[in-house]
Amino acid sequence: MRRISVGFLIMCSALMAASPAGAAKQTGALSPLVGGIVGVHGEATVVVAMGHFGNDEDRFFETFTSSGSGFILTTPKGAATNGGIIVSSPRADLSAVLPYFRFRATAISPLVSGRQVHGGEVVPGLAPWPTSVSMNGSLAVVTDRGEVVGAADASRRLRRITTLRELSATTAGRRCGLTALTAVVVEDDQSIAVGGRCRHSGASGIFERRVGSKQWSGLPALSPSPSSVIRLDARNGGGYSALLAAGGRVIVSVGGSGSLQKGVPSGVSNEALRAVIFLGPASNGHYAVTVTRGRGVSAREISATGPGPWIGPVLPASTQVVVPSMESRPAVAIAVQGSIMTERSLDEVSGRWAISGMQRVAIPYGTSR
C-alpha cells in the first residue's frame, strides 16, 4: 500500500502581517489551506475550497487524490470540513480536519493511498496552516493556542513540546520578534523543527531541537527582511525543506542539523501565491507554486536551485491549484466554481490545457447544497 499524506498553503504577505498570532482566519476568496502534496509513489493529493468562498459557514474543503482515471474525491468522512483540511506528512497517512464552529479540537484521520481507514483521533485545535501537523514516526502539531504538542503516535496522549512564549524568549526568538508558530516537521531522525513568523529581520523564524536535546536553537536570517515560514517538509535522508517568504518573495531553503542553506530566489511574489504543492520527500525539496498571473493563474516549479519554466499557458482565474507533470501523468490544473470541480490536463503536444474531467461534490450544509 502506498502511503501518502499532504500539507499545503497559500499565505499572502499582507495577511501574514495583519493576522493575530496563531489565530489566522481567512475570509477572502481562497484559503491558505488550499494546496497539496505528492507522495512517495507519485500520487498527488490536493485540497481545494468549494462552495461559497466568502462565507465561512458555506465554504467546504475537499480532498482529491490522483488515480489512473483522474482525481477522485477522498475527503475524510465523519467530520465537517468547513474549517479546512490539512493533508500533511507524505509518509504518515495523515489528514487533519479543522472544524470552525465553536470547536476547539481537530479531527485527525489516517489515509492510506488517499483512502480513509477506521480510527480517527481528536487532538487540540491545530493552527490553520498546511504543515502545522507532521507525522514521521512520531506526531507533532502546532495548536491554535501557540503550542507545539507531540506524541510517539497519534493514539498516545499529546504532550507539550514547546510554546510560542518559550521560543520567543530564546535569543533567536527575541531577534526574530516571533509572533506566531506556523509549521512543524518531524525529521527522519526524530529531530523537530518549528517555523514561525518574524516581526524583525534578525532570524529566519526556524527553530530546531535535535534528538536527545531539550534545547531549541534558532537558525540565522537569510534575508535582510523579516521572514515567515510557509512550509517545513521532511527530506529523504534527513533534514528538511523550508519554504519561506521574505521581502515579498518566496524562497526555498534546505535546513537541518543547525544550518540553513539559502536557495536561489524563486522570483515568485508572495502576494501572488495562491497554492503550493510539496512534490514529495524524494523531490529534493521541489515545490509547485500556483500564482496569480495577470488576470489568470499560472504555475511553475521552484526549488533551492531556482524557478523552473511556467507550466503551460495561463489558466482561468477559478483555478486553485496546479499539479505538475509527474512520471507519466500530465500536468493537471484544478478549478472550482461552487460545487463543481473541473480538471484540465496539459496536452504535451499542443501545449494547451484541455478539460479532462468534471465532478460535482454535494456540499453537505448551508446554502451551497
Partner 1 sequence: MPGMGGSLKLRNPLIVERFSSALTHQILLVLAVALLAAGLAVVLAQRRPLPPVIDEPVARRILRLGFGGLWIIAGILQLQPSMPIGLPSAVVLPTVATAPGALNHLVSLASNAWLRHPVLGASAVVWLELGLGVWLLVARDGWWSRAAGWASAAWGAVVWVIGNGLGGMFVGPLSWMFGAPGASLFYVLAGVALGVPPLWLSRRSIVRWTSRGIGVGLVLLAALQAWPGRGFWGEGPASVRPLSSMAQDMGALGQPGITASLQHWVAQATLDGSWIFNAVVVVGLALSGVGFLMASRRWILMSLWLYGSLALADWVMIQDFGVFGGISTDINSMVPSVIFLLAAGLALLDHRGDTPAAIPGMDGGGARRPRSFGALARIGGSAASAGVVLVGALVISSIGILPGATSEAAVATGGTVADLGGVPAPDFQLIDQRGEPISLATLRGHTVVLSFIDAVCTSECPIEAQEMRAAARELGWPSDVLFLAISANGRFDSRQATVTFTRQEGFDDWAQWRFATGSPTMLRQTWQRYGVNVAAVGAGAMVAHGEAVFIIDARGKLRATWNLTPGPDEGSVTGQSTTALIVEQIRALR
Interface ranges with partner 1 (CB under 8 A)? 60-63, 73-83, 97, 99-105, 107, 109, 116, 118-124, 155, 157, 361-365
CB of 15 to partner 1, least distance (A): 24
Nearer to partner 1, 105 or 282 (CB): 105
CB of 323 to partner 1, least distance (A): 19
State in Å, rounded, how far the first CA of the chain is from the last one: 34
Nearer to partner 1, 151 or 221 (CB): 151
Question: Distance (Å, rounded) from C-alpha 268 to C-alpha 287?
Answer: 12
> DSSP 3-state assignment of 166?
helix
Q: Which residue has the cell 476547539?
A: 104
Q: Is the separation of the CB atoms in 288 and 299 below 8 Å? A: yes
CB of 125 to partner 1, least distance (A): 8
Residue type, 362: A
Question: Distance (Å, rounded) from C-alpha 85 to C-alpha 276?
Answer: 14
Residue type, 68: G
CB of 367 to partner 1, least distance (A): 13
Question: Distance (Å, rounded) from C-alpha 175 to C-alpha 48?
Answer: 36
Nearer to partner 1, 154 or 311 (CB): 154
Question: Distance (Å, rounded) from C-alpha 251 to C-alpha 246?
Answer: 7
Nearer to partner 1, 43 or 187 (CB): 43
Nearer to partner 1, 81 or 201 (CB): 81
> DSSP 3-state assignment of 62?
strand
CB of 65 to partner 1, least distance (A): 12
